[in-house]
Amino acid sequence: MGAARFESGDSLRRIVSPPSTAAAVVEQHLAALRACTLCPRMHKPVVVGRPVASRVLLVGQAPGDKEPKLGRPFAWTAGRTLFKWFHEALGWSEDETRDRIYFAAVCRCFPGKRAGGGDRVPAPDEIAHCARWLAREFALLRPQLVLPVGKLAITQFLGERPLAVVVGEKFRITYAGHAADCVPLPHPSGASPWHRMEPGKTLLHAAFAHVAAHPALKI
């Protein structure tokens, strides 16, 4: 995949290596991430994806209660919908999608449940703590395409905007000093009807047209 950078402590070392070596460096990063203990209110284990040295970075919100048990992001109902989108737009199976895209998230641990029901929204300090891992992934992978999934993830890159304004569009962003294209996606939660009704259905189709045409998928 060409040159990549990996942050270790306070320094960055340069890597020019074949994909197998690059994947090994990504695994080193994931091992450090799995050992993170910065957020005591979060529920362990840390949920991470496969060590994929990809130029496409998908950023979810936070794991649900099933993902820690199953050991991978988007492992339950929302994941089935997400991978259906990729299959319909690109012809990829779930396995192929996980092998071709690096899965990150705003927070990598399950936040727990709210007193009134539903998953707790991560606190600002928890988002800030996990942002350091996302910054390291930008330095390591130097993604050309970023796919934030859901409002919390979209906000990290584009600020707070209505879904109908951002989904279906492609933006140029700079995050952690690295420039990339950004194509926001709605959250595939079964609790949200947004992606199943208009204008969500049409805007989702437009978003995946941007994804399918992007050069990062052809590397």
| 3-state SS record for 151-200 | HHHHHHHHCCCCHHHHCCCCEEEEECCEEEEECCECCCCCCCCHHHCCCH
Q: How many of the other CB atoms lie within 10 Å of CB of 208?
A: 18
* pLDDT for the residue numbered 217: 92
Tokens in use for 160? Answer: 């707070």
The mean pLDDT value of the chain amounts to 90
pTM over 0.85: yes
Class of domain 3-218: alpha beta
| pLDDT beyond 70 at 21 | no
Q: CB–CB of 63/33 below 8 Å?
A: no
Minimum mean pLDDT among 30-34, 127-131, 133-137, 187-191: which range? Answer: 187-191
Minimum mean pLDDT among 15-24, 95-104, 130-139, 176-185: which range? Answer: 15-24
| pLDDT beyond 70 at 104 | yes
| pLDDT beyond 90 at 11 | no
In eight-state DSSP terms, residue 214 is -
| pLDDT beyond 60 at 12 | no
